[in-house]
Structure 1
Amino acid sequence: MSLLSASCSTTTTGNNPPEPGPPDGAGGSDGATGDSTRLIGAFQVRSSPASGDGAPAGTTAVLGKIYDGTTPSQIIWELAAEEGSCRLLTPRVPFCNQPCGGSAVCVEDDTCQAYPAAHSAGDVTVTGLNLESGEAAFVMKPTANNYQPPAGVKLGYPPADEGQTVRLEASGDFFSAFAVESKGVSPLELLNDAIHIEPDQGVQLAWTPPGQAGISEIYVKLDISHHGGTKGMIECSAEDTGSLDLPAALVTQLLDLGVAGFPTIVVTRRAVGSTTIQQGRVDLVISSQIERSVVIAGLTSCNDSSQCPEGQTCQPDLTCQ
């Protein structure tokens, strides 16, 4: 999956629905004259809480990549309905009579767009993350134009204290030198015991509010058909206040589009900083993410028929019928 996602719009592209840009005041610019709406790269500090009782502390991953252009996708996500901070998106797949080949993708009917190439920004020095060694910084070198912590660097959990400034400084190479900052977020704690999806019923999400207001936002993605070929999803971007209601009308419309096995909801607390270089915008995203199964009446998920009630078999979309 690409690290990048398109900026918000009514008609959008990407393997997932687009994620919003940086909150007001996040990050900064190095003064370059590039287009800040053109997302070409991202560095992610992703963490997930422990998965269950008795499990070890949560996990953290750091990765980054920068391209010489925006990343196209075969799927266009279109706005079907919107209410409050949530919207229902449905996929559309363009068709090109002339195949685009392996180096490009059909992004609109009979329109191909070439995939961008990844390049180096030189060594990237990272400060502000919690390291088990207690050291204040580490350096990521590009390996096949990918950035990850070097062997031997072990990240603590959480990866950064809430409100702590995390800074990346790239020395420059194909891409010019730049710096980008974001803030640490507190680990997300979702308070829902079970999440039920029913027609004409909203979904009430609750989580422990952050210790500091104004640092993070909450991003929600509800996808109940991805194992059968995604038919739509609900995406929400909201203030990190501790609760969010997914509107009943959007939930009902999503159910009407169809379901597949193992439906899930993903809730992410994140802080986003950005900087602009000549080729476009580079983001630094610090996030804590939880993915939960959702319960839909009448739906039994399966990997094989032995998991189905008597008389039913496991279908290609991983449902018992």
Structure 2
Amino acid sequence: MRHALPSPLPLPLPFYVSLLLAACGGSSSSDGPDALTPDGSPDSSVARERSGTVEITEDRWIFPEDSGGGESVTSQVAARFYDGREPSFHREAMRAGDCVLRTFTIASCTPACTDGLCVDTNVCEPYPTYVSAGRLTITGLRTPVQIDPMQSWYYPDGPLPADLFADDASITASLAGATIPALSITTSGVRPITPDITGGKLVAPYPAAADVIVRWTPSGGDERVRLTLNANNRGHGAPYEAIIECDVADSAGQVAVAPALLDAFPATEAWTICAGTDCPPSKLARYRRGATLVGEREVDLVVASTFTFGIEHRLP
């Protein structure tokens, strides 16, 4: 069965936005500017702003059975680089265990915020300005990838195989340099992840009487796992109203979302088709990450296997 997929966001907000705080199993080339050793934990005391990212993903998307079912297996290479730091339109509202709830609220700014979004009283978060880092060359995949930016946007010029990398592949992203200087980052492939989510959706009751737990079989390696639950937004390309993110070592085999976080999460349906909004899916990702410093900010390489699903969270 064919499904309408959510429109791509012009502002890449969900999931990888907060991977800048997570590092595991990657390495940085000493040939890059100010080579950085990954700190190994998303809650490290070393928290750095990010000025760019390269993302390599194998994804399995399971559609909700009550919407027709089916699945899509794809892969993706994406990259983006910023003039300055990566923007952050969400604010932390609550934290419990390994999870954090971030929300977006339309606020009031005086003077009016004309070149960004007003995210708090008189706090204007500027829209991102994308810049070039020159040609992107990725080695270690099952197919060679070279991308020349078009107006500072990076997209492959053809389809990629669904099985894009070997589980133990050594993967290197090299940038020829432009506004972002030349650099090279290496990390490793990851094994596919399959959680105990059935029927293509995770049901989060309201009120939540207990933790909602998502489980998987650990790979036996040093990867990390991130659960991202996305609420809807108020219009195409707008920030999601809320995001719950949980990050744990893959060896944990599970992550628990506390009732307080779920009860504060907006009403959400496991949509596959919607109009006027992006009805985003949610994800569970097993990933590795490498990073290097450019000045005081990071550029990173994230290699991930993701499982995409819907979340059903109905309020009275």
TM-score (norm 2): 0.73
Alignment of structure 1 residues 267-282 onto 2, 5 Å: 267-278=284-295, 280-282=297-299
CA change 1:156–1:57 in 2 (3 A) is: farther
Judging changes above 3 Å, is the alpha-carbon distance between structure 1 residues 201 and 224 closer, same or farther for their aligned structure 2 residues?
A: farther
Partner of 2:96, secondary structure, is strand
| Counterpart for residue 247 of structure 2 | 237
2:277 corresponds to: none
1:230–1:43 distance in 2 versus 1, CA, 3 Å: closer
Displacement after TM superposition at 1:28 (Å): 1.7
1:125 aligns with 2:133: no
Aligned partner of 2:270 in structure 1 is 262
1:147 and 2:149 correspond:
no
Cα distance 1:95–1:61, how it changes in 2: closer, same or farther (>3 A)? same
Which residue is 1:58 aligned to? 73
* 1:257 Cα deviation from its structure 2 partner: 5.2
1:95 paired with 2:112, answer: no
How far does residue 217 in structure 1 lie from its aligned partner after superposition?
1.0
For 1:13-28, list aligned pairs within 5 A: 18-24=18-24, 26-28=26-28
Distance 1:180 1:56, change over 3 A: same
Give percent identity, aligned residues only: 21
Contact 1:206 1:243 in 2 (8 A): yes
Alignment check: 8 A CA contact 1:78 1:91 kept:
no
Indicate whether 1:47 and 2:58 are aligned. yes
Separation (CA, whole Å) in 1 of partners of 2:307 and 2:286: 9
Measured after TM superposition, the shift of residue 118 of structure 1 is 1.8
Query: What is the letter of the counterpart of residue 70 of structure 1?
Result: R
How big is each residue's C-alpha offset from its partner over 1:26-71, in whole Å with a ceiling of 9 and x where there is no partner?
2326243999812011111122126479978720111111111113
Counterpart of 1:316?
A: none
Where do 1:167-316 residues align within 5 Å? 167-193=172-198, 195-198=202-205, 199-210=208-219, 212-214=220-222, 216-223=223-230, 232-241=242-251, 243-247=253-257, 250-255=258-263, 258-262=266-270, 265-278=282-295, 280-295=297-312, 299=314
**Cα gap change, 1:257/1:157 in structure 2, threshold over 3 Å: closer, same or farther?**
closer
Match of 1:78 among 92, 98, 102: 92
Separation in 2, partners of 1:65, 1:224: 24
Q: Given the alignment of the two structures, is residue 32 of structure 1 paired with residue 50 of structure 2, yes or no?
A: no
CA distance in structure 1 between the partners assigned to 2:231 and 2:176 by the alignment? 43
Q: Is the Cα–Cα contact under 8 Å of residues 22 and 274 in structure 1 kept in the other structure?
A: no
TM-score, length-scaled by structure 1: 0.72
Asked if the contact 2:234/2:241 (under 8 Å) is kept, the reply is: no
Over 3 Å counting, the alpha-carbon distance change for 1:2 and 1:219 in structure 2 is farther
Q: Structure 1: which 5+ residue stretches go unaligned?
A: 6-13, 132-136, 300-318
**CA displacement 1:227-281 (0-9 Å, x = unmatched):** 799664432101113632424xx22552255524337642111111111223731
RMSD over aligned CA atoms reads 3.6
**Higher alpha-carbon Rg:** 1
Matched position secondary structure for 2:18 = coil
Shift of 1:125: 1.5
- Could you tell me how far apart the structure 2 residues matched to 1:178 and 1:91 are? 34
Contact preservation (8 Å) 1:17, 1:89: no
| Secondary structure in 1 matching 2:196 | coil
Between the two proteins, the alignment pairs up a number of residues equal to 277
1:106 to 108, 115, 118: 118
Three-state SS of the structure 2 residue aligned to 1:125 is strand
| C-alpha distance in structure 1 between counterparts of 2:165 and 2:173, whole Å | 13
Give the match's secondary structure for 2:109: coil
Deviates more, 1:120-129 or 1:47-56: 47-56
Shift of 1:24: 4.3
Matched, 1:159 2:172: no
How much does 1:167 deviate? Answer: 0.6
Following the alignment from structure 1 to structure 2, what is the Cα–Cα distance between the partners of residues 231 and 140?
33
SS at 1:192 equivalent? coil
- Tell me the residue number matched to 1:303: none
- Inter-partner Cα distance in structure 1 for 2:57 and 2:34: 28
Distance 1:220 1:98 in 2: 38
